[in-house]
């Protein structure tokens, strides 16, 4: 968290000066300071909430019944695969490198502080909302229902943090942010389609690995995908500059008791 706030602070300090007029994004450091503070508080609050969760007792574990779960989710209780768990970790760590890969684009490289700030904001919002929901929901993970899993795994605090999938959410957030930013800088529809295809597939694979590992129900994964994808798309979307309308434009205006039309022309 300290490192993340250091990055945010540097981006706020230098972002406005670094941004060029050719950038597709509008950056206002005062506004971003408010947004970043809110995202940081959400992140800190979410982490605090999830760390207050108490582990399951042996009696609670013994009373778990998979047949009270929705049929859509019940099959996940039969899964347990530590190798798939490790693979899902690797997938998420891979998506964390996406901001560096975006620097391949020349225009994005000139705007690296603004782009970096959006990534940081996306990550804080996603992690904060995920951890807050986990701490409040306290949903038991699928592997806790599995008799083949060691009791030590089931009595860990993390066994009560199933909803929703943080791996899937963070992967989707970073992938969708990358695809949206790439599209905003790119003029090549083919490249954009390829990037968006990858952005859709990577978090889906991550979610599948979380399901196979026994750490999440399908409903956890779907929710994480939707939440992360929405955050990842909307953060750069709301930062994008409004297009300049050229030619003649007409708009109504009102001044006291006077009403009329406002005409303007931009060549």
**Predicted pLDDT at 19:** 44
| Cα–Cα distance measured from residue 25 to residue 19, given in angstroms and rounded to the nearest whole number | 8
Report how many domains make up the chain: 1
**Predicted pLDDT at 13:** 41
**83-118, pLDDT tens digit by residue?**
999 999 999 999 999 988 888 888 888 888 889 899
How does DSSP assign 63-121, residue by residue? Answer: T--GGGS-HHHHGGGG---HHHHHHHHHHHHHHTTHHHHHTTSHHHHHTHHHHHHHHHH
* Residue numbers of the domain that contains 22: 2-266
pTM recorded for the entire structure: 0.84
Q: Which residues of the chain have pLDDT under 70?
A: 1-21, 243-267
The Cβ of residue 88 has, within 10 Å, a number of other Cβ atoms equal to 25
| Cα–Cα distance measured from residue 51 to residue 67, given in angstroms and rounded to the nearest whole number | 29
**Predicted pLDDT at 16:** 42
**Predicted pLDDT at 244:** 56
């Amino acid at each position: 968290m300290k490192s993340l706030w250091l990055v945010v602070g540097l981006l706020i300090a230098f972002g406005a000066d670094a941004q060029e007029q050719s950038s597709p994004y509008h950056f206002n450091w005062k506004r971003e300071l408010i947004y970043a503070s809110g995202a940081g508080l959400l992140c800190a609050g979410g982490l605090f909430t999830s760390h207050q969760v108490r582990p399951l007792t042996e009696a609670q574990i013994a009373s778990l019944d998979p047949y009270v779960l929705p049929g859509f989710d019940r099959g996940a209780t039969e899964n347990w695969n530590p190798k798939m768990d490790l693979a899902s970790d690797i997938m998420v760590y891979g998506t964390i490198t996406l901001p560096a890969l975006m620097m391949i684009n020349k225009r994005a490289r000139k705007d690296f502080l603004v782009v970096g700030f959006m990534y940081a904001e996306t990550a804080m919002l996603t992690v904060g909302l995920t951890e807050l929901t986990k701490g409040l929901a306290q949903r038991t993970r699928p592997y806790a229902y599995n008799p083949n899993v060691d009791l030590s795994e089931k009595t860990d605090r993390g066994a009560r943090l199933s909803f929703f999938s943080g791996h899937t959410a963070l992967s989707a957030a970073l992938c969708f942010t990358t695809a949206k930013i790439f599209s905003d800088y790119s003029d090549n529809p083919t490249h954009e389609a390829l990037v968006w295809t990858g952005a859709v597939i990577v978090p889906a694979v991550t979610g599948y690995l979380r399901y196979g590992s026994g750490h999440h129900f399908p409903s956890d994964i779907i929710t994480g995908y939707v939440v992360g994808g929405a955050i990842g798309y909307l953060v750069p979307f709301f930062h994008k500059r409004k297009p300049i309308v050229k030619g003649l434009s007409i708009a109504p205006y009102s001044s006291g008791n006077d009403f009329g039309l406002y005409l303007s022309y931009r060549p």
